[in-house]
């Protein structure tokens, strides 16, 4: 998070500003109802490894009874899972 508008402009200029929505839809900010797992490839860890990690993560979430979906554009892999409202 930028301390002021100049910091935000600096990050935009570098092309490294990613906007992410809140991880919940409920009004209670202390109890998120959505789990997001960001599995972007990094130096030394390619897209194939990120995809494998997503598949293993999905298996684990399935075992825990948490249904998840996988978003897989060309450059990143994200996992999204709805959590119980309890």
The span from the CA of 11 to the CA of 17, in Å, is 6
Give this prediction's pTM.
0.61
DSSP states of the chain as a string?
Answer: --SSHHHHHHHHHHT-------S--SS-TTS--EEEEE---BTTB-HHHHHHHHHHHHHHHHHTT--EEEE--SS--EEEEE----
Note the pLDDT tens digit of each residue in 73-83.
Answer: 666 787 888 87
Residue 54 backbone dihedrals phi, psi, to 5 degrees: -65, -40
Instruction: Give the model's pLDDT for residue 73.
Output: 66
Where is average pLDDT lowest: 19-23, 32-36, 76-80? Answer: 19-23
Tokens linked to 4: 């002021």
């Amino acid at each position: 998070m930028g301390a002021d508008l100049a910091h935000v402009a600096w990050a935009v200029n570098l092309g490294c500003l990613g906007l992410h929505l809140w991880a919940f839809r409920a009004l209670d900010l202390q109890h998120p109802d959505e789990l997001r797992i960001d599995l972007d490839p990094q130096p030394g860890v390619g897209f194939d490894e990120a995809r494998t990690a997503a598949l293993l993560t999905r298996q684990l979430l399935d075992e825990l009874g948490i249904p998840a979906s996988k978003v897989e554009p060309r450059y990143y892999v994200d996992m999204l899972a709805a959590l119980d409202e309890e």
